[in-house]
Amino acid sequence: MKKILLTTTLLLLSIVIYSQTEAQLITKANSGDIESQYMLGLRYYNGEKAEQDFNKAYKWLKKAADQDYTKAQYYLALCYEYGLGTKGNILMAIEYAKLASKKDYADAQIYLAHCYEEGKGVIQDYSKAFELFKKATTKNNPEAQYFLAICYYYGEGVSINYPEAFSWFYKAAQGGIIEAQYAIAGCYESGTGTEQNFDNAFKWYKIAADSNYAEAQYKIGKLYKDGKGTKKDIKKALKYFSLADEQNIPSAQYNIAVCYLNGDGVKANMNKAYTFFSKAAMNNHPNAQFNLAVCYEGGYGTNKNAKKAFKWFRRAAENNISDAQFQIAEYYNNGINTSKDTKKALIWYQKAAENNHTQSQLKIAIFYYYGKGLKTNYKKAAFWTEKAMKNGSKKAKQFWKDNNLRKYI
């Protein structure tokens, strides 16, 4: 009962202080009232009910912090880190954050945990970061719950534990952390740490998407497009892809392009497909880069441009798209859109073959068999021919038979 009365009294006191004018707070702060010093410093820090002034914020926060006022110690740490009203000093920031952390102030514990994660002002120590995040969760802090989940998910300072990560993501999601809502949706979608459930994935992606979280908008679009967790609806898919496109999400841009390419939910339009492939490609989407190259090569939705076709096939190849790697190899092998170069052709055929590209596997086999650009090696010729055969290549099967490659296995 005493604890309830004390809490109510402190709350009423805070309301009274918050409602006071700047002049009233200054009078009380000058008389040594710690709460007023903190509130005045906070007003100057945030620019709330007073003009933002970091010099004044630092002055009053320091007065309160040096009298062991926990919240002031935390904000003073931020002043020292970012050089607000004082010279930046990460060591002083750590010192004041530690003072607040020892009194179980969750924001300070989270701040310190990030410092240990990054090795900022302290020796990098993921275990200490984990422990601080864990301590902060005892105050039911959603932000701390989210970061603790991240630790369990990626094994930072603790062994990977997906069910535990899911549990903390869920708590943080319920606490309104958008990133946690997105993460919990991803867990349901992939069945990580919990049973796969597309209905729940849709539910949580939708919550995050409706808070304008771009990646979630793309995911909702994808679920509508695939009919997972909801009824298939291409128009709604395009609506959410468009929202994500406004925030420059390349996967959304790519999916819009594919819809225009195939006439899926919209009238087929190669000009628009080209436009969205371009946007996604510029944002380093590998498949969009490949498709943009195809557009330039064939003049689809734009003018033919051999140089740009080569450029974007090369970009996609560097991003490990096997079809692009094969295409670049073909260019070098045949001297198309570039100088003929057998060695470079071999490099790209090899990369594509290792990515299980059937045509490239047969090409490499032929190169090894005839010693084209490298030393003849019948064993490697047989090895890559067999790979291509397993991928269903009839040409590889014929090459195997014609050259009796079985004897080299």
Question: Does 134 score more than 90 pLDDT?
Answer: yes
Alpha-carbon separation of residue 343 from 80, 333, 379 (angstroms): 57, 8, 20
Q: What percent of the chain has pLDDT over 90?
A: 91
| Cβ-contact 232, 225 below 8 angstroms | yes
**Contacting residues for 209 by C-beta, under 8 A, at least 6 apart:** 216, 217, 219, 220, 240, 243
Q: Which amino acid is at 132?
A: L
Q: What are phi and psi of 319, to 5 degrees?
A: -95, 20
pLDDT band of 20, cuts 50, 70, 90: confident
Of 8-12, 180-184, 241-245, 364-368, the least confident: 8-12
What is the residue whose two structure tokens read 């819009």?
256
Q: Rounded to whole angstroms, how far apart are CA atoms 261 and 251? A: 15
Question: Does 371 score more than 80 pLDDT?
Answer: yes
Overall average pLDDT of the 43-52 stretch: 92
pLDDT band of 316, cuts 50, 70, 90: very high
Return the structure tokens found at 288.
């969009």
| Angle (CA) 110 121 58, round 5° | 75
Domains present along the chain, CATH in parentheses: 1-103 (1.25.40.10)
Q: Rounded to whole angstroms, how far apart are CA atoms 44 and 36? A: 12
pLDDT digits (tens, 9 = 90+) for 159-181: 999 999 999 999 999 999 999 99
**Contacting residues for 16 by C-beta, under 8 A, at least 6 apart:** none
pLDDT band of 125, cuts 50, 70, 90: very high
Q: Rounded to whole angstroms, how far apart are CA atoms 380 and 50? A: 76
Residue 249: the pLDDT is 98
pLDDT band of 409, cuts 50, 70, 90: confident
Structure pTM? Answer: 0.86
pLDDT band of 18, cuts 50, 70, 90: low
| Cβ-contact 260, 273 below 8 angstroms | yes
Overall average pLDDT of the 75-91 stretch: 97
Q: Rounded to whole angstroms, how far apart are CA atoms 103 and 71? A: 10
Q: Rounded to whole angstroms, how far apart are CA atoms 332 and 338? A: 7
Residue 49: the pLDDT is 85
Overall average pLDDT of the 83-103 stretch: 97
Three-state DSSP string of 213-260: CHHHHHHHHHHHHHCCCCCCCHHHHHHHHHHHHHCCCHHHHHHHHHHH
Which residue, 142, 172, 147, 173, is CA-closest to 158?
147
pLDDT band of 14, cuts 50, 70, 90: very low
Most confident of 43-57, 267-281, 332-346: 267-281
Query: What SS3 class is residue 115?
Result: helix
Residue by residue, DSSP assigns 186-216 as: HHHHHTSSS---HHHHHHHHHHHHTTT-HHH
